[in-house]
């Protein structure tokens, strides 16, 4: 296996591990708070849950988007 394949595999495994942790935190927020709340409330709860689980996140980053040229 070449270096690039190994590196990509490691990056994929790391991304999968972080995804698993983040989804677990999101499920916990939904389990506690239930459905029907505003997105801003879920966002704050998710931030807190990630803090409690030592999951580093950044909220509402600016992402450059080009639309229709």
What is the Cα–Cα distance from 69 to 60, expressed in whole angstroms?
A: 24
Q: Which of 18-22, 26-30, 49-53, 56-60 is predicted with the least confidence, judged by mean pLDDT? A: 56-60
What the block records as the tokens of 6 is 């190994």
pTM higher than 0.95: no
Q: Counting beta carbons within 10 angstroms of the beta carbon of residue 46, is it exposed (0 to 12), middle (13 to 18) or buried (19 or more)?
A: buried
10: Cα separation from own chain's centroid:
18
Sign of torsion over alpha carbons 15, 19, 20, 22: positive
Residue 17 lies in a domain: yes
Confidence label for 7 from pLDDT (cuts 50, 70 and 90): low
12 located within any domain: yes
Query: Which of the pair, 10 or 42, is modelled with greater confidence?
Result: 42
Q: Identify whether 37 is part of a domain.
A: yes
pLDDT over 70 at 42, yes or no: yes
Q: Considering the domain boundaries, does residue 66 fall inside one?
A: no
Residue pointed to by tokens 């990509």: 8
The domain tally of the chain equals: 1
């Amino acid at each position: 296996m070449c270096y690039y394949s190994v590196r990509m595999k490691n990056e994929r495994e790391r991304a999968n591990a972080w995804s698993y942790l983040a989804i677990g935190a999101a499920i916990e927020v939904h389990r506690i708070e239930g459905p029907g709340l505003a997105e801003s409330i879920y966002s704050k709860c998710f931030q807190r849950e990630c803090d409690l689980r030592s999951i580093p996140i950044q909220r509402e980053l600016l992402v450059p988007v080009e639309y229709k040229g």
